[in-house]
Amino acid sequence: MSVVTRLGPLEARLVHDRAELVAAQELRYRVFFEEQGAVADPVIRRSRRDVDPFDAVADHLVVLDLERSSPRRPAVVGCYRLLRESVALARGGFYSAAEYDLTPLLARASEGGCRGELLELGRSCVDPDYRNGTVVQLLWRAIAAYLEAHGCGLLFGCASLPGTDVAAVAAQIRWLHERHLAPLPLRPVALAARRVAHEPFAAEGYDPQAAFRALPPLFKGYLRLGAMIGEGAVLDEAFNTIDLCIVLPREQIDARYRRHYTTAGEAAVAEPA
């Protein structure tokens, strides 16, 4: 099924065709490589698209500005990549498995502890001209409908702090570990080969309030929904980031935020694929 949510000229849904996927990959390139300083290999640099093998197997959620879109040139202004457990395990695994040991999550899912399969979220970005909150709300309304359609019980994925200087974000990492560390049955652990040497984070001059204020909006949005984090942080030099693993059990999403992301005036429908 293809989940659709609309608000004014903006529409959030799964991609319909290759043109929309290419537009999403072009948006990812502009945000990750041109704006945030990721390092492109020659193929990505020539194509000006952020592409990896997981794109071929994942679902791609996009927000389009219908007033600017045409069939040949869809105006994608926001996107998320969604990879379900059943698909990932049949096609080589999850993207996050290159950075984190996901054994606790996979075991929990196989034992029925998640009341549904895992869903990996990734490659989230919004066009700079549309960063007023509306696009993110539409994306999460569509994600909520996607969870219902596919019976997913737990969301997870790598979320990024900017830059590769661990000291610059140590306070933020400490704050997240102290206040939002996932319990052991739901705690991914950074792979030893990728894990940054970090303990103790921000041992001197630590200011919890300043650390929270410095968190990127994406992290704050996840926390409002009830997210926790895995143990450790991973340096991703190619993307010029330091990554943490977000874990979000569906049943822990606070009811007031679920209402916020699934109502408020837009049409929400499920269309046959």
Total domains present in the chain: 1
Candidates 115, 12, 98; CA nearest to 61 is 12
Q: How many CB atoms lie within 10 A of CB 115?
A: 13
- Residue listed under structure tokens 């049409």: 267
Token pair, residue 46, equals 């020539």
Token pair, residue 170, equals 């140590």
| CATH code of the domain containing 137 | 3.40.630.30
160 within 8 A of 246, measured Cβ to Cβ:
no
Candidates 71, 91, 80, 89; CA nearest to 145 is 80
Give pLDDT tens digits along the chain (273 positions).
Answer: 556 889 999 999 999 999 999 999 999 999 999 999 999 999 999 999 999 999 999 999 999 999 999 988 999 999 999 999 999 999 989 999 999 999 999 987 555 556 789 999 999 999 999 999 999 999 999 998 899 899 998 999 999 999 999 989 999 999 999 999 999 999 999 999 999 876 566 667 889 999 999 999 999 999 988 999 999 999 999 999 999 999 998 887 656 556 656 554 443 333 333
- Residue listed under structure tokens 């794109």: 55
Range of the domain at 106: 2-271
Q: Model-level pTM?
A: 0.90
Estimate to the nearest angstrom the gap between the alpha carbon of 53 and the chain centroid: 17
Q: Which residues contact 122 (CB under 8 A, 6 or more apart)?
A: 54, 58, 80, 81, 83, 95, 96, 157, 158
